[in-house]
C-alpha cells in the first residue's frame, strides 16, 4: 500500500486538511445539501462544520484516521455515549447551521431512534476528496476500521444518505438494515450493518 493510502492516526494539527477534504467529499451529499442549501456558501459552511465536529467531538472520543486525501471517524462501543456534542459544540453547530439548525436537530433525533442497541463499531463519517477518487484511500480507511471491529469480534454500522455509495459499502460486507426518511422533507438515510469477520481480521 502506498504512503498516500496508508491510514494514519489524525491529530489536532490535521484539522484544516481534514475539514477541507471532507467539505469537498460531501459537497454533493444529499443530506449535507439539505442542511446547507446555499451553493455559494456551502463549501465554507461544510469546512466549519467538519472542523467543529472533528476537533470538539470525534478527536476526543473516537478513532480518527486519515490518508493524504481522505478521513474516517470510527466510534467503538465503549465510547458511543461520549462521542456526542457537548453544550458548547451544539452552540457552535447552531451558528454554522443558522436557520437549518432545527432540521439538523430533528434529523439527528430521527436517526438516533434507529441506532442499533447491540455493541458495535460505528462509522460516523468517511469521505475522500473527489479529485483523489479511485485511488483507494477511502477503501483503505474502511478496511482499517473494519479490521479493528473484526479483531474485537464486533459488527459495524453506518448511515448513508447517498444511494450511489451503497454498493461500495456492500462490497465490504455491509447490508441495508433500514431506511429512514428524515423529517421536514429531508432525504432518505440508509442504515447499513456488517457482521464481524474474525477469520479475515
Give how many domains the chain has, as a whole number.
Answer: 1
Domain housing 80: 3-200
CATH value at residue 68: 3.40.630.30
Does pTM surpass 0.85? yes
Instruction: Please report which residue ranges of 38-174 form alpha helices under DSSP H.
Output: 42-53, 59-61, 87-97, 101-112, 137-151, 166-171
Q: Does residue 42 surpass a pLDDT of 70?
A: yes
Q: What percent of the chain has pLDDT over 90?
A: 88
Q: Which three cell numbers stand for residue 32?
A: 449535507
Q: What is the pLDDT of residues 73-132, one digit of tens each?
A: 999 999 988 888 888 999 999 999 999 999 999 999 999 899 999 999 999 999 999 999
The whole-number pLDDT of residue 131 equals 94
The whole-number pLDDT of residue 23 equals 98
Q: Does residue 200 surpass a pLDDT of 50?
A: no
The whole-number pLDDT of residue 85 equals 85
Which residue pairs, CB below 8 angstroms and at least 24 apart, start in 160-164? 160/189, 160/190, 160/192, 161/29, 161/30, 161/31, 161/187, 161/188, 161/189, 161/190, 162/28, 162/29, 162/30, 163/188, 163/190
Q: With bands split at pLDDT 50, 70 and 90, how would you rate the model's confidence at 2?
A: low
Q: What is the dihedral of CA 26, 1, 60, 29, to 10 degrees?
A: 10
Q: Does residue 192 surpass a pLDDT of 80?
A: yes
Arithmetic mean of pLDDT, 28-54:
96
The whole-number pLDDT of residue 134 equals 87
Amino acid at each position: 500500500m502506498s504512503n498516500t493510502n496508508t491510514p494514519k492516526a489524525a491529530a489536532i494539527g490535521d484539522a484544516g486538511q481534514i475539514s477541507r477534504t471532507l467539505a469537498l467529499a460531501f459537497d454533493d451529499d444529499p443530506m449535507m445539501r439539505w442542511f446547507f442549501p446555499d451553493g455559494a456558501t456551502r463549501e465554507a459552511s461544510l469546512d466549519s462544520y467538519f472542523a467543529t465536529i472533528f476537533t470538539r467531538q470525534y478527536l476526543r472520543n473516537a478513532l480518527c484516521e486519515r490518508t493524504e486525501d481522505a478521513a474516517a471517524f470510527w466510534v467503538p462501543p465503549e465510547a458511543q455515549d461520549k462521542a456526542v456534542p457537548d453544550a458548547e459544540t451544539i452552540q457552535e453547530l447552531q451558528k454554522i447551521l443558522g436557520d437549518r439548525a432545527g432540521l439538523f436537530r430533528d434529523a439527528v433525533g430521527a436517526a438516533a431512534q434507529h441506532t442499533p442497541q447491540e455493541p458495535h463499531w460505528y462509522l460516523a463519517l468517511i469521505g475522500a476528496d473527489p479529485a483523489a477518487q479511485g485511488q483507494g484511500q477511502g477503501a483503505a480507511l474502511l478496511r482499517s476500521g473494519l479490521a479493528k471491529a473484526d479483531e474485537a469480534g464486533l459488527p459495524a454500522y453506518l448511515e448513508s444518505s447517498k444511494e450511489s455509495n451503497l454498493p461500495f459499502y456492500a462490497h465490504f460486507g455491509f447490508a441495508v438494515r433500514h431506511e429512514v426518511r428524515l423529517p421536514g422533507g429531508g432525504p432518505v438515510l440508509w442504515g447499513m450493518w456488517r457482521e464481524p469477520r474474525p477469520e479475515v481480521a
